[in-house]
Chain A
Amino acid sequence: MAEGSATHAGELEEVLENLRALSGEVTTAAVLSGGGKLKASTLPPGVDRKRYAAMLGALVGLARRVARESGGSSFTQARIKEEGGHVLLVGLEGGDILAATTGPDARVGLVLYDMRNVRREIERMLGSSEGEQR
């Protein structure tokens, strides 16, 4: 079973790397569980994954709170612009999140379009992974 989930993590990382290749403006990409756990990412070894996941989790929590306070039950997409670049979040089925970062001059609309395109594939993988674990 552990081998199965490792395979899925590998497949997910391949999809994230494809997203990075497809949209050259994506600097990092990750899939985060609803509980804030990093399921897969394009971060190389040596990068502080725990801190990265914690910060993304904080953004997701904040976006969910803003969504609830604004009359929704959750968010489907969030974009945050900072001097150094953008952080983009796309909601997945089951509460997981697809996250990506870009440089400051990225065409964010195009990156979000590419993220939405790979969303289905990631959801399918995550769905089959959960099915195997049951």
Chain B
Amino acid sequence: MRKVLGRLFFLSVAAGAAYALRYYLEGSAGAKKGDVQVVLDTGATVDPDPADAQEFVDIARKVLEIGEQQAR
């Protein structure tokens, strides 16, 4: 019984660690869903695919960096 409980505890810790790692990586890596929205002339709103969204975010970062020069 003790052995089973020990294994269960170990599995819970491992699952928790995996979940925390996934959460951290999703939060830090690249563009998240909803970061980029494009409204078309048809009225539809589009979330670009992850590769395009990342490109949008990378270019936007540069625009913001250049704009920040005025504060210096």
Contact = CB atoms under 8 A, between A and B. Distances in A.
Interface in A32-77: 43-44, 46-48, 51-52, 55-56, 58-59, 62-63, 66-67, 70-77
Interface residues of B, number: 29
B42 A55 contact: no
Interface in B41-72: 41-42, 44, 46, 48, 52, 55-57, 59-71
Interface stretch (A2-10, A11-19, A78-86, A126-134): A78-86
Nearest to A65: B52
B25 interface: no
Nearest to A27: B67
B42 A72 contact: yes
Contact of A84 (B35, B38, B44, B64): B64
A23 interface: no
Given A55-B59, A66-B48, A80 B35 contact: yes
A80 to B, nearest CB: 4
Given A46-B69, A75-B41, A87-B64, 16 more contacts: A27-B67, A27-B71, A28-B67, A28-B70, A44-B70, A46-B70, A59-B60, A59-B63, A71-B40, A75-B39, A75-B40, A76-B40, A79-B36, A86-B60, A101-B63, A101-B64
